[in-house]
Structure 1
Amino acid sequence: MDIVLIAGLWLDGSAWDDVLPELEALGHRGIPLTLPGQGDGATSASYDDQVAAVVAAVDAAEGRPLVVGHSAACTLAWAAADLRPDAVTGVALIGGFPTTEGEAYADFFEPVDGAMPFPGWEKFEGPDSDDMSDELKESLLGRMIAVPVGVTRGVVHWTSDARHGVPLTLVCPEFSPAEAQEWIDAGDVPELGAATALELVDIDSGHWPMYTQPAALAALLDEAARR
Protein backbone atom coordinates (compact mmCIF):
# COMPACT_ATOMS: atom_id res chain seq x y z
CA MET A 1 0.00 0.00 0.00
CA ASP A 2 1.10 3.57 -0.58
CA ILE A 3 1.67 5.48 2.66
CA VAL A 4 1.87 9.27 2.47
CA LEU A 5 4.24 10.58 5.18
CA ILE A 6 4.02 14.17 6.45
CA ALA A 7 6.60 15.33 8.99
CA GLY A 8 5.85 18.03 11.52
CA LEU A 9 7.16 21.55 11.85
CA TRP A 10 10.71 22.36 10.77
CA LEU A 11 11.21 19.00 8.99
CA ASP A 12 11.25 18.02 5.34
CA GLY A 13 10.68 14.66 3.67
CA SER A 14 14.10 13.36 4.73
CA ALA A 15 12.70 12.92 8.26
CA TRP A 16 11.37 9.54 7.09
CA ASP A 17 14.62 8.18 5.65
CA ASP A 18 14.99 5.49 8.33
CA VAL A 19 11.31 4.52 8.16
CA LEU A 20 11.13 4.01 4.39
CA PRO A 21 13.13 0.74 4.20
CA GLU A 22 11.19 -0.63 7.17
CA LEU A 23 7.91 0.08 5.38
CA GLU A 24 9.23 -1.42 2.17
CA ALA A 25 10.15 -4.63 4.02
CA LEU A 26 6.54 -4.81 5.18
CA GLY A 27 5.24 -4.45 1.63
CA HIS A 28 4.46 -0.74 1.51
CA ARG A 29 5.67 2.22 -0.54
CA GLY A 30 6.38 5.25 1.61
CA ILE A 31 5.78 8.64 -0.01
CA PRO A 32 7.57 11.29 2.09
CA LEU A 33 6.44 14.85 1.45
CA THR A 34 8.54 17.98 1.44
CA LEU A 35 5.96 20.68 2.02
CA PRO A 36 5.74 24.12 0.38
CA GLY A 37 7.83 26.60 2.35
CA GLN A 38 9.27 23.77 4.43
CA GLY A 39 12.19 22.43 2.47
CA ASP A 40 11.24 23.09 -1.15
CA GLY A 41 13.39 26.21 -1.34
CA ALA A 42 10.47 28.64 -1.17
CA THR A 43 10.63 31.31 1.51
CA SER A 44 6.89 31.85 1.63
CA ALA A 45 3.90 29.53 1.61
CA SER A 46 0.48 29.28 3.22
CA TYR A 47 -1.31 26.64 5.23
CA ASP A 48 -3.62 26.15 2.24
CA ASP A 49 -0.56 25.51 0.05
CA GLN A 50 0.51 22.71 2.36
CA VAL A 51 -2.99 21.21 2.42
CA ALA A 52 -3.04 21.30 -1.38
CA ALA A 53 0.29 19.46 -1.49
CA VAL A 54 -1.08 16.71 0.74
CA VAL A 55 -4.25 16.35 -1.34
CA ALA A 56 -2.14 16.22 -4.52
CA ALA A 57 -0.09 13.39 -3.03
CA VAL A 58 -3.27 11.48 -2.17
CA ASP A 59 -4.59 11.98 -5.69
CA ALA A 60 -1.31 10.76 -7.20
CA ALA A 61 -1.00 7.68 -4.98
CA GLU A 62 -1.80 4.21 -6.18
CA GLY A 63 -5.07 2.98 -4.74
CA ARG A 64 -6.33 4.39 -1.45
CA PRO A 65 -3.27 5.38 0.61
CA LEU A 66 -2.80 5.60 4.34
CA VAL A 67 -1.99 9.22 5.23
CA VAL A 68 0.38 9.76 8.16
CA GLY A 69 0.91 13.05 9.96
CA HIS A 70 3.46 13.79 12.67
CA SER A 71 3.05 16.42 15.39
CA ALA A 72 1.52 19.63 13.98
CA ALA A 73 1.16 17.92 10.60
CA CYS A 74 -1.52 15.70 12.13
CA THR A 75 -3.80 18.54 11.02
CA LEU A 76 -2.55 18.18 7.44
CA ALA A 77 -3.14 14.43 7.47
CA TRP A 78 -6.64 14.92 8.82
CA ALA A 79 -7.25 17.48 6.06
CA ALA A 80 -6.82 14.61 3.60
CA ALA A 81 -9.66 12.77 5.37
CA ASP A 82 -11.72 15.95 5.27
CA LEU A 83 -11.20 16.65 1.57
CA ARG A 84 -10.79 13.08 0.27
CA PRO A 85 -12.71 10.84 2.72
CA ASP A 86 -13.40 8.19 0.08
CA ALA A 87 -9.90 8.27 -1.39
CA VAL A 88 -7.91 7.31 1.72
CA THR A 89 -7.83 3.97 3.50
CA GLY A 90 -7.18 5.69 6.80
CA VAL A 91 -5.18 8.28 8.69
CA ALA A 92 -2.46 7.78 11.31
CA LEU A 93 -1.46 10.59 13.66
CA ILE A 94 1.87 10.51 15.49
CA GLY A 95 2.24 12.56 18.66
CA GLY A 96 -0.30 15.21 17.77
CA PHE A 97 -3.93 16.12 17.19
CA PRO A 98 -5.91 17.92 14.48
CA THR A 99 -6.35 21.61 15.12
CA THR A 100 -9.81 22.71 16.23
CA GLU A 101 -12.04 24.49 13.70
CA GLY A 102 -11.28 28.20 13.40
CA GLU A 103 -7.93 28.09 15.20
CA ALA A 104 -4.45 28.83 13.84
CA TYR A 105 -2.63 25.81 12.45
CA ALA A 106 0.57 26.02 14.52
CA ASP A 107 1.24 29.49 15.93
CA PHE A 108 3.39 28.20 18.78
CA PHE A 109 6.49 30.45 18.89
CA GLU A 110 7.35 34.00 17.89
CA PRO A 111 8.35 34.38 14.24
CA VAL A 112 11.56 35.97 13.04
CA ASP A 113 11.56 37.76 9.67
CA GLY A 114 8.27 36.20 8.64
CA ALA A 115 8.99 32.63 9.67
CA MET A 116 8.87 30.58 12.87
CA PRO A 117 12.31 29.03 13.54
CA PHE A 118 12.97 25.96 15.63
CA PRO A 119 13.14 27.35 19.21
CA GLY A 120 15.89 25.04 20.47
CA TRP A 121 15.90 21.72 22.29
CA GLU A 122 15.43 23.30 25.70
CA LYS A 123 11.77 23.82 24.77
CA PHE A 124 11.43 20.06 24.39
CA GLU A 125 13.31 18.78 27.42
CA GLY A 126 11.86 15.75 29.18
CA PRO A 127 9.72 12.99 27.63
CA ASP A 128 9.72 14.70 24.22
CA SER A 129 13.44 14.23 23.66
CA ASP A 130 14.84 12.01 26.43
CA ASP A 131 15.35 9.17 23.94
CA MET A 132 17.45 11.32 21.58
CA SER A 133 21.24 11.40 21.79
CA ASP A 134 23.13 14.68 21.86
CA GLU A 135 24.60 13.74 18.47
CA LEU A 136 21.15 13.26 16.96
CA LYS A 137 19.92 16.55 18.37
CA GLU A 138 22.93 18.39 17.00
CA SER A 139 22.49 16.78 13.59
CA LEU A 140 18.82 17.71 13.43
CA LEU A 141 19.47 21.24 14.64
CA GLY A 142 21.37 21.96 11.45
CA ARG A 143 18.51 20.66 9.31
CA MET A 144 15.56 22.45 10.91
CA ILE A 145 13.68 24.76 8.55
CA ALA A 146 11.93 27.93 9.71
CA VAL A 147 8.24 27.66 8.77
CA PRO A 148 6.57 30.68 7.09
CA VAL A 149 3.95 32.50 9.15
CA GLY A 150 1.56 32.03 6.26
CA VAL A 151 1.63 28.38 7.27
CA THR A 152 1.82 28.60 11.05
CA ARG A 153 -0.87 31.29 11.35
CA GLY A 154 -3.18 29.91 8.70
CA VAL A 155 -6.70 29.32 10.00
CA VAL A 156 -7.98 25.75 9.91
CA HIS A 157 -11.47 25.03 8.56
CA TRP A 158 -13.12 21.64 8.28
CA THR A 159 -15.62 21.02 5.51
CA SER A 160 -17.00 17.46 5.52
CA ASP A 161 -18.51 15.44 8.35
CA ALA A 162 -17.52 12.33 6.38
CA ARG A 163 -14.02 12.69 7.84
CA HIS A 164 -15.30 11.46 11.20
CA GLY A 165 -15.86 7.99 9.76
CA VAL A 166 -12.38 7.57 8.27
CA PRO A 167 -10.37 4.90 10.15
CA LEU A 168 -8.06 6.82 12.45
CA THR A 169 -5.05 5.60 14.43
CA LEU A 170 -3.40 7.78 17.07
CA VAL A 171 0.19 6.72 17.79
CA CYS A 172 1.06 7.86 21.32
CA PRO A 173 4.81 8.49 21.83
CA GLU A 174 5.65 10.85 24.70
CA PHE A 175 2.14 10.47 26.15
CA SER A 176 0.17 7.29 26.83
CA PRO A 177 -3.07 6.10 25.21
CA ALA A 178 -4.73 6.52 28.61
CA GLU A 179 -3.66 10.17 28.76
CA ALA A 180 -4.86 10.75 25.21
CA GLN A 181 -8.23 9.22 26.07
CA GLU A 182 -8.54 11.52 29.08
CA TRP A 183 -7.96 14.56 26.85
CA ILE A 184 -10.50 13.30 24.35
CA ASP A 185 -13.09 12.59 27.05
CA ALA A 186 -12.55 16.06 28.50
CA GLY A 187 -13.38 17.63 25.14
CA ASP A 188 -9.88 19.00 24.63
CA VAL A 189 -9.54 17.38 21.19
CA PRO A 190 -12.90 17.85 19.43
CA GLU A 191 -11.81 16.26 16.16
CA LEU A 192 -10.83 13.02 17.87
CA GLY A 193 -13.90 13.12 20.08
CA ALA A 194 -16.07 13.06 16.97
CA ALA A 195 -14.14 10.26 15.26
CA THR A 196 -16.16 7.03 15.06
CA ALA A 197 -13.29 4.69 14.08
CA LEU A 198 -10.48 5.73 16.41
CA GLU A 199 -7.78 3.42 17.75
CA LEU A 200 -5.09 4.47 20.24
CA VAL A 201 -1.73 2.67 20.12
CA ASP A 202 1.42 3.10 22.18
CA ILE A 203 5.06 3.42 21.13
CA ASP A 204 8.00 3.56 23.54
CA SER A 205 9.63 6.74 22.29
CA GLY A 206 9.77 10.49 22.55
CA HIS A 207 8.17 12.94 20.17
CA TRP A 208 10.27 11.98 17.13
CA PRO A 209 9.98 8.17 16.76
CA MET A 210 10.88 8.30 13.06
CA TYR A 211 14.46 8.90 14.24
CA THR A 212 14.59 6.86 17.45
CA GLN A 213 12.20 3.95 16.75
CA PRO A 214 11.82 3.66 12.96
CA ALA A 215 11.18 -0.10 12.91
CA ALA A 216 8.61 0.02 15.71
CA LEU A 217 6.91 2.99 14.06
CA ALA A 218 6.80 1.23 10.68
CA ALA A 219 5.22 -1.80 12.35
CA LEU A 220 2.45 0.36 13.83
CA LEU A 221 1.85 2.05 10.48
CA ASP A 222 1.65 -1.39 8.86
CA GLU A 223 -1.03 -2.35 11.38
CA ALA A 224 -2.90 0.89 10.70
CA ALA A 225 -2.77 0.23 6.96
CA ARG A 226 -4.24 -3.26 7.47
CA ARG A 227 -7.16 -2.17 9.69
Structure 2
Amino acid sequence: MTTTHLILVPGSWLGGWAWDDVLPGLRAAGLVPHPVTLPGLDPSDDASAVTRADHVQAVVELVDRIADDGDDVVLVGHSGGGAVVGEVVDRRPDRVRRAVYVDSGPLEDGNALVPDLPADSAGQAFPSWEELADGGSSLEGLDDAALARLRERALPHPAGVARAAVHVSDERRFAVPVTAICTSLPSEVLLTMVDGGPPLHTEMGRYDVTYVDLPTGHWPMFSRPDDLAAALVDAARA
Protein backbone atom coordinates (compact mmCIF):
# COMPACT_ATOMS: atom_id res chain seq x y z
CA MET A 1 0.00 0.00 0.00
CA THR A 2 1.38 3.40 -1.02
CA THR A 3 1.81 5.95 1.75
CA THR A 4 1.13 9.62 1.03
CA HIS A 5 3.73 12.04 2.37
CA LEU A 6 3.12 15.78 2.66
CA ILE A 7 6.24 17.94 2.53
CA LEU A 8 5.31 21.18 4.30
CA VAL A 9 7.40 24.19 3.27
CA PRO A 10 6.78 27.27 5.45
CA GLY A 11 6.85 30.86 4.32
CA SER A 12 9.57 33.43 4.86
CA TRP A 13 10.97 33.83 8.38
CA LEU A 14 9.41 30.55 9.55
CA GLY A 15 10.71 27.09 10.38
CA GLY A 16 9.02 23.72 10.42
CA TRP A 17 7.52 24.66 13.81
CA ALA A 18 4.96 26.79 11.97
CA TRP A 19 3.05 23.62 11.05
CA ASP A 20 2.88 22.18 14.58
CA ASP A 21 -0.85 22.77 15.06
CA VAL A 22 -1.66 21.26 11.64
CA LEU A 23 0.23 18.00 12.10
CA PRO A 24 -2.29 16.14 14.32
CA GLY A 25 -5.05 16.45 11.73
CA LEU A 26 -2.79 15.19 8.96
CA ARG A 27 -1.59 12.22 10.99
CA ALA A 28 -5.12 11.34 12.07
CA ALA A 29 -6.02 11.05 8.38
CA GLY A 30 -3.20 8.56 7.80
CA LEU A 31 -0.85 10.97 6.03
CA VAL A 32 2.84 11.36 6.83
CA PRO A 33 3.77 15.04 7.22
CA HIS A 34 7.30 16.38 6.90
CA PRO A 35 7.51 19.96 8.25
CA VAL A 36 10.62 21.49 6.74
CA THR A 37 13.01 23.97 8.31
CA LEU A 38 14.94 25.34 5.35
CA PRO A 39 18.66 26.17 5.59
CA GLY A 40 19.31 29.39 7.48
CA LEU A 41 15.99 29.30 9.35
CA ASP A 42 17.04 27.29 12.37
CA PRO A 43 18.39 29.46 15.21
CA SER A 44 21.65 27.50 15.11
CA ASP A 45 22.22 28.07 11.37
CA ASP A 46 24.60 30.53 9.75
CA ALA A 47 22.33 32.14 7.17
CA SER A 48 24.93 34.44 5.65
CA ALA A 49 25.84 32.19 2.71
CA VAL A 50 22.51 30.42 2.19
CA THR A 51 21.18 30.60 -1.37
CA ARG A 52 17.87 29.93 -3.08
CA ALA A 53 19.49 26.87 -4.64
CA ASP A 54 20.17 25.58 -1.11
CA HIS A 55 16.48 25.85 -0.25
CA VAL A 56 15.40 24.12 -3.43
CA GLN A 57 17.98 21.37 -3.05
CA ALA A 58 16.96 20.64 0.54
CA VAL A 59 13.40 19.92 -0.59
CA VAL A 60 14.48 18.05 -3.74
CA GLU A 61 16.54 15.69 -1.60
CA LEU A 62 13.54 15.00 0.64
CA VAL A 63 11.34 14.36 -2.40
CA ASP A 64 13.90 11.91 -3.75
CA ARG A 65 14.21 10.00 -0.46
CA ILE A 66 10.46 9.53 -0.27
CA ALA A 67 9.94 8.73 -3.95
CA ASP A 68 12.85 6.28 -3.93
CA ASP A 69 10.87 4.22 -1.42
CA GLY A 70 7.94 4.12 -3.83
CA ASP A 71 5.74 6.44 -1.79
CA ASP A 72 3.50 9.29 -2.85
CA VAL A 73 4.73 12.92 -2.61
CA VAL A 74 2.52 15.99 -2.20
CA LEU A 75 4.28 19.33 -1.83
CA VAL A 76 2.77 22.14 0.25
CA GLY A 77 4.11 25.69 0.16
CA HIS A 78 2.95 28.62 2.27
CA SER A 79 3.64 32.22 1.27
CA GLY A 80 7.28 32.54 0.14
CA GLY A 81 7.60 28.78 0.43
CA GLY A 82 5.42 28.56 -2.65
CA ALA A 83 8.29 29.83 -4.78
CA VAL A 84 10.45 26.98 -3.46
CA VAL A 85 7.71 24.45 -4.18
CA GLY A 86 7.35 25.77 -7.72
CA GLU A 87 11.05 25.27 -8.36
CA VAL A 88 11.04 21.79 -6.84
CA VAL A 89 8.13 20.77 -9.08
CA ASP A 90 10.19 22.06 -12.01
CA ARG A 91 13.14 19.88 -10.95
CA ARG A 92 11.07 16.76 -10.18
CA PRO A 93 7.83 16.91 -12.21
CA ASP A 94 7.73 13.11 -12.40
CA ARG A 95 8.09 12.61 -8.62
CA VAL A 96 5.48 15.04 -7.24
CA ARG A 97 1.81 14.02 -7.53
CA ARG A 98 0.31 17.36 -6.50
CA ALA A 99 1.45 20.80 -5.36
CA VAL A 100 -0.58 22.76 -2.82
CA TYR A 101 -0.15 26.50 -2.43
CA VAL A 102 -1.39 28.10 0.80
CA ASP A 103 -1.97 31.84 0.22
CA SER A 104 0.81 31.49 -2.31
CA GLY A 105 1.72 30.40 -5.80
CA PRO A 106 4.58 29.43 -8.12
CA LEU A 107 6.63 32.39 -9.33
CA GLU A 108 7.42 33.01 -12.97
CA ASP A 109 10.98 32.42 -14.13
CA GLY A 110 13.28 35.32 -13.29
CA ASN A 111 11.19 36.78 -10.49
CA ALA A 112 12.28 37.12 -6.86
CA LEU A 113 10.53 37.58 -3.54
CA VAL A 114 12.41 40.76 -2.62
CA PRO A 115 14.47 41.77 -5.68
CA ASP A 116 15.35 45.18 -4.23
CA LEU A 117 16.79 43.84 -0.98
CA PRO A 118 20.17 45.65 -0.60
CA ALA A 119 23.15 43.53 -1.60
CA ASP A 120 24.86 44.24 1.72
CA SER A 121 21.83 43.18 3.76
CA ALA A 122 22.41 40.39 6.28
CA GLY A 123 18.86 39.17 5.73
CA GLN A 124 15.23 40.18 5.30
CA ALA A 125 14.12 41.14 8.80
CA PHE A 126 10.67 40.13 10.01
CA PRO A 127 8.53 43.22 9.36
CA SER A 128 6.35 45.14 11.77
CA TRP A 129 2.68 44.23 11.91
CA GLU A 130 1.89 47.46 10.06
CA GLU A 131 4.35 46.66 7.27
CA LEU A 132 2.94 43.15 6.89
CA ALA A 133 -0.62 44.44 6.67
CA ASP A 134 0.39 47.12 4.16
CA GLY A 135 2.06 44.43 2.06
CA GLY A 136 -1.10 42.32 1.94
CA SER A 137 -0.21 39.80 4.67
CA SER A 138 -3.43 39.90 6.64
CA LEU A 139 -3.29 39.23 10.39
CA GLU A 140 -6.95 38.22 10.50
CA GLY A 141 -7.65 35.41 12.96
CA LEU A 142 -4.43 35.75 14.95
CA ASP A 143 -4.95 36.28 18.66
CA ASP A 144 -2.39 37.85 20.98
CA ALA A 145 -0.80 34.48 21.76
CA ALA A 146 -0.35 33.67 18.07
CA LEU A 147 1.11 37.11 17.36
CA ALA A 148 3.54 36.73 20.25
CA ARG A 149 4.58 33.27 19.07
CA LEU A 150 5.15 34.50 15.54
CA ARG A 151 7.14 37.53 16.66
CA GLU A 152 9.25 35.48 19.08
CA ARG A 153 10.16 32.64 16.72
CA ALA A 154 10.43 34.33 13.30
CA LEU A 155 13.99 34.73 12.03
CA PRO A 156 15.46 37.00 9.35
CA HIS A 157 15.03 35.34 5.96
CA PRO A 158 18.38 34.64 4.28
CA ALA A 159 19.23 37.53 1.98
CA GLY A 160 20.62 35.17 -0.66
CA VAL A 161 17.20 33.56 -0.91
CA ALA A 162 14.95 36.61 -0.67
CA ARG A 163 16.58 38.58 -3.49
CA ALA A 164 17.52 35.66 -5.79
CA ALA A 165 15.54 34.96 -8.93
CA VAL A 166 13.47 31.83 -9.37
CA HIS A 167 14.58 29.53 -12.20
CA VAL A 168 12.03 27.24 -13.85
CA SER A 169 12.18 25.83 -17.38
CA ASP A 170 10.71 22.31 -17.60
CA GLU A 171 7.34 22.44 -19.33
CA ARG A 172 6.41 19.16 -17.65
CA ARG A 173 5.79 21.10 -14.44
CA PHE A 174 2.45 22.23 -15.83
CA ALA A 175 1.24 18.60 -15.86
CA VAL A 176 1.46 18.43 -12.05
CA PRO A 177 -1.99 19.31 -10.66
CA VAL A 178 -2.33 22.13 -8.14
CA THR A 179 -4.56 22.99 -5.23
CA ALA A 180 -4.67 26.67 -4.25
CA ILE A 181 -5.92 27.27 -0.70
CA CYS A 182 -7.14 30.84 -0.72
CA THR A 183 -7.02 32.59 2.65
CA SER A 184 -6.17 36.31 2.36
CA LEU A 185 -7.79 36.59 -1.07
CA PRO A 186 -10.96 34.73 -2.07
CA SER A 187 -10.65 32.54 -5.13
CA GLU A 188 -12.84 34.83 -7.24
CA VAL A 189 -10.29 37.61 -6.72
CA LEU A 190 -7.23 35.40 -7.11
CA LEU A 191 -8.56 34.10 -10.42
CA THR A 192 -8.22 37.61 -11.85
CA MET A 193 -4.50 37.70 -10.93
CA VAL A 194 -3.08 34.31 -11.96
CA ASP A 195 -1.97 34.99 -15.51
CA GLY A 196 1.46 36.42 -14.74
CA GLY A 197 2.98 39.81 -14.24
CA PRO A 198 2.44 42.16 -11.32
CA PRO A 199 1.42 42.17 -8.58
CA LEU A 200 1.83 38.46 -7.89
CA HIS A 201 4.15 37.37 -10.74
CA THR A 202 2.62 33.90 -10.49
CA GLU A 203 2.28 31.37 -13.30
CA MET A 204 -0.65 29.67 -11.57
CA GLY A 205 -2.88 30.27 -14.55
CA ARG A 206 -0.94 27.74 -16.62
CA TYR A 207 -1.70 24.84 -14.26
CA ASP A 208 -4.73 22.63 -13.67
CA VAL A 209 -5.84 24.28 -10.42
CA THR A 210 -8.46 23.38 -7.84
CA TYR A 211 -9.33 26.48 -5.82
CA VAL A 212 -10.34 26.09 -2.18
CA ASP A 213 -11.56 29.03 -0.09
CA LEU A 214 -10.52 29.13 3.57
CA PRO A 215 -11.34 32.68 4.67
CA THR A 216 -8.84 33.95 7.25
CA GLY A 217 -5.55 35.82 7.20
CA HIS A 218 -2.15 35.03 5.76
CA TRP A 219 -1.22 32.46 8.42
CA PRO A 220 -4.00 29.83 8.50
CA MET A 221 -1.71 27.36 10.28
CA PHE A 222 -2.09 29.62 13.33
CA SER A 223 -5.60 31.04 12.82
CA ARG A 224 -7.45 27.95 11.49
CA PRO A 225 -5.08 24.97 11.87
CA ASP A 226 -7.77 22.26 11.98
CA ASP A 227 -9.51 23.62 8.91
CA LEU A 228 -6.21 23.95 7.08
CA ALA A 229 -5.38 20.34 7.96
CA ALA A 230 -8.74 19.23 6.57
CA ALA A 231 -8.13 21.16 3.34
CA LEU A 232 -4.68 19.59 2.99
CA VAL A 233 -6.13 16.13 3.55
CA ASP A 234 -8.68 16.73 0.80
CA ALA A 235 -5.95 17.98 -1.53
CA ALA A 236 -3.72 15.00 -0.80
CA ARG A 237 -6.57 12.61 -1.57
CA ALA A 238 -7.63 14.36 -4.77
TM-score (norm 1): 0.92
What is the root-mean-square deviation in Å for CA atoms of aligned residues? 1.9
Question: CA 1:172/1:94 → structure 2, altered by over 3 Å: closer, same or farther?
Answer: same
| 2:130 aligned partner | 122
The one-letter code of the counterpart of 2:63 is V
Alpha-carbon distance between aligned partners in 1 of 2:64 and 2:101, rounded to the nearest angstrom:
20
- The count of corresponding residues between Structure 1 and Structure 2 is 226
1:205 aligned onto 2:205 = no
Question: CA 1:122/1:88 → structure 2, altered by over 3 Å: closer, same or farther?
Answer: same
Q: Report matched runs for 1:50-65 at 5 Å.
A: 50-61=55-66, 62=69, 63-65=71-73
| 1:191 aligned partner | 203
Structure 2 residue runs of 5 or longer lacking an equivalent are none
Q: Say which is worse superposed, 122-131 or 53-62, in terms of deviation.
A: 122-131
Alpha-carbon distance between aligned partners in 2 of 1:168 and 1:185, rounded to the nearest angstrom:
15
Identical amino acids, percent of aligned pairs: 35
Give the alignment partner of residue 84 of structure 1, picking from 84, 89, 92. Answer: 92
- Check conservation: 1:110, 1:116, Cα contact below 8 A: no
Alpha-carbon distance between aligned partners in 2 of 1:175 and 1:14, rounded to the nearest angstrom:
24
| 2:141 aligned partner | 131
User: Deviation at 1:127?
Assistant: 7.2
User: What are the Cα deviations for residues 154-206 of structure 1, in whole angstroms up to 9, with x where unaligned?
Assistant: 111112000011010111001000011011257655511211x2111100211
- Check conservation: 1:48, 1:154, Cα contact below 8 A: no
- Check conservation: 2:183, 2:216, Cα contact below 8 A: yes
Alpha-carbon distance between aligned partners in 2 of 1:20 and 1:141, rounded to the nearest angstrom:
21
Alpha-carbon distance between aligned partners in 2 of 1:55 and 1:10, rounded to the nearest angstrom:
20
| 1:43 aligned partner | 47
User: Deviation at 1:109?
Assistant: 6.0
User: What are the Cα deviations for residues 111-139 of structure 1, in whole angstroms up to 9, with x where unaligned?
Assistant: 88511110111123387102111221122
Question: CA 1:167/1:108 → structure 2, altered by over 3 Å: closer, same or farther?
Answer: farther
Alpha-carbon distance between aligned partners in 2 of 1:15 and 1:156, rounded to the nearest angstrom:
24
| 2:74 aligned partner | 66
Alpha-carbon distance between aligned partners in 2 of 1:3 and 1:96, rounded to the nearest angstrom:
17
- Check conservation: 1:72, 1:106, Cα contact below 8 A: no
Question: CA 1:108/1:22 → structure 2, altered by over 3 Å: closer, same or farther?
Answer: farther
TM-score (norm 2): 0.88
Question: CA 1:166/1:186 → structure 2, altered by over 3 Å: closer, same or farther?
Answer: closer
Question: CA 1:185/1:59 → structure 2, altered by over 3 Å: closer, same or farther?
Answer: closer
1:178 aligned onto 2:188 = yes
1:167 aligned onto 2:171 = no
